[in-house]
Amino acid sequence: MGRLDNKVAIITGAAGGMGKADALLFAQEGAKVAITDLQEDKIKDVVAEIEALGGEALGIKHNVASEEDWVRVVDETIQKFGKIDILVNNAGVSNATPFMDLTVEGWEKTMSINVTSIFLGQKYVIPHMIEAGGGSIVNISSIAGLTGGSGAGPYTASKGAVRMLTKATAVDYAKHNIRCNSVHPGYIETPMTVDLFKDEKMMQWFQSQTPLPRLGKAEDIARGVLFLASDESSYITGVELPIDGGYYAK
C-alpha cells in the first residue's frame, strides 16, 4: 500500500476492463485518480467504488480522439487535484477487418482512437509533468504491436505505432524526468473480448497459444501498469512490457 501516495493520475477508458482495474488499484495505492471514458454512467460507478474504498476520484466523459476533450480533461484534473504525475493511455478499439474489406473511414477511426489519442494525451499532459518535475506515462499497446496478427491489419498497425511513439517520447522527454513505457497485454478477459471467448473451441485455441495455460485478467495488467507508473521503475523508460502469459517468448 502507498506506492502512489501523493500522485495524481489520469486513466483513459476506465469505465471497465483493464482501465477500471488500473483505477481501483491506483486508488488503493494512494493515488488521486481522474478516470475518463465515453460511458458516463459506468464512470460514476467506478468513482463510487473508489470513494467507498476511501480514495479520491474524478469522473470525466471523454472522447479520446477529440483535442477539445483532452484540453478539458487536463484542465478539470488540474483544477481538482492541482497537478498530473501519471498518464495511462488505456482507451482503445479493436478492428479485425481484413485489408481488402477495410474502408478509409474504418482505418482512420482505428488510428484516431488507438494512436492519435495518445499523441493528444501526451501533448497536453507533458507540460504539466514538466512543471511538476517529472512524471510517468504508460501507453497500453498489445502483443499485436510486437508481432504480426493475421486478419487484424489496422489494429496491429495502430498498436505498433503506439510502441514506437512511446519510445520516441521516452527519448525526447527523459531530460525532464518524464518516463514513457508501453504495456503489451496478451489474451485478456475484458468486456471487449467477452464475445470472442464465448466459443469453447476458440477459447481452447487462445489458451493453446499461451505457455501459461490460462487467459489473463485485467488485474494482471494493472499490476504491471502500477509498477511502471510508480517510482519503483524510476530508471526504466522506453521499454515494452509484454504481460501475455509467455506468448511473445515463443
pLDDT band of residue 130 (cuts 50, 70, 90) is very high
Predicted local confidence at residue 29, as pLDDT = 98
The full set of domain ranges for the chain reads 8-245
Model confidence at 62: pLDDT above 90: yes
pLDDT band of residue 210 (cuts 50, 70, 90) is confident
> What percent of the chain is helix, strand and coil (3-state, nearest 5)?
50, 15, 35
Asked if residue 61 has pLDDT above 70, the reply is yes
Residues that are catalytic:
155
Whether 23 has a pLDDT exceeding 80, the answer reads yes
Give the confidence band of 98 by pLDDT, cuts at 50, 70, 90. confident
- Reading the block at residue 132, the C-alpha cell is 511538476
Average of pLDDT values for 47-66?
Answer: 97
pLDDT band at 194 (very low <50, low <70, confident <90, very high): low
Q: Give the pTM.
A: 0.94
- pLDDT confidence bin for 101, thresholds 50/70/90: confident
- The CATH superfamily assigned to 8-245 is NAD(P)-binding Rossmann-like Domain (3.40.50.720)
State yes or no: pLDDT of 53 exceeds 70: yes
CA separation, residue 110 to residues 96, 125, 151, 170 (Å): 10, 22, 14, 24
Distances (CA, A) of 156 to 162, 170, 211, 250: 10, 21, 22, 18
The closest alpha carbon to 20, from 99, 79, 91, 103, belongs to 91
- The pLDDT of residue 131 is 94
pLDDT for res 164: 98
pLDDT tens digits along 108-123: 999 999 999 999 999 9
Q: What is the mean pLDDT of residues 142-170?
A: 90
What average pLDDT does the segment 50-54 reach?
95
Confidence of residue 151 (pLDDT cuts 50, 70, 90): low
193 pLDDT exceeds 70? no
In the chain, the DSSP E strands lie at: 8-12, 32-37, 57-61, 86-89, 135-140, 178-185, 188-189, 216-217, 240-243
